[in-house]
Amino acid sequence: MTYVKTLRMILKKLIPIPKWRLPVLAALAVLAGILFLILYLSKAHSYISDDPRACTNCHIMAPQYATWSHSSHREVTHCNDCHVPHNNFFNKYYFKAKDGLRHATIFTLRKEPQVIFIKEEGAEAVHTNCIRCHIDQLIDPKLNAMVEDHSFKMTDRNCTECHREVPHGRVNSLSSVPNAKVPLPENPLPKWLR
């Protein structure tokens, strides 16, 4: 049997009988509409970008955004520069999709913790990106001459062992930065629906 014949047989099995075509088409249209509404309300399209405000679509990341926006890193980086792998295009978006789906699931099920800890895979990405951006400091001969055990400290340890509070400071929970101007997510419902 040729490929085309096999494909035709499969399509014939998927297409409903004539009296069911209109109801099936209507049901598929309703499901597609619901899916597009969910994608719109969740601002799913914003996660493809590198805009740091996308991280505050759910309120739980507001303290992290606020502390980053008051740090020196805000001038040169955004969330994805640190928290997403940059070894290739596909790995970057695969990681974003996987991590975003986990975040969305946790937020939708209301299982978000009061204190957020980075997962192991995310910590590895952060460490790799620290090295990617700060490689000049790692190989600087002046620092090597001035800092005791520079080679050991710069190569055999994780960056966050010493730089744990960069750039977020001591963010321990949703209430840890009460005086910071935390951008809360706007209401996603259209005005006519409110």
Amino acid at 137: Q
Residues 17 and 48 in one domain: no
CA–CA gap between residue 185 and residue 187 (Å, rounded): 7
Q: What is the mean pLDDT of residues 101-105?
A: 84
Angle at which helices 120-133 and 89-108 cross, to 10°: 140
Q: Does residue 113 surpass a pLDDT of 90? A: no
Task: Indicate whether 178 and 107 sit together in one domain.
Answer: yes
Q: Report the number of distinct structural domains present in the chain.
A: 2
Whether residue 171 contacts residue 63, with contact meaning beta carbons closer than 8 Å, is answered with yes
10 shares its domain with 106: no
For residues 19 and 60, state if they share a domain. Answer: no
Residues 29 and 57 in one domain: no
Among 44-48, 104-108, 139-143, 151-155, which stretch is predicted with the lowest mean pLDDT? Answer: 151-155
pTM of the model: 0.70
Q: Which domain holds residue 182?
A: 42-193
Q: What 3-state class would DSSP assign to 85? A: coil
Residues with Cβ within 8 Å of 170's Cβ and at least 6 positions away in sequence, in order, are 176
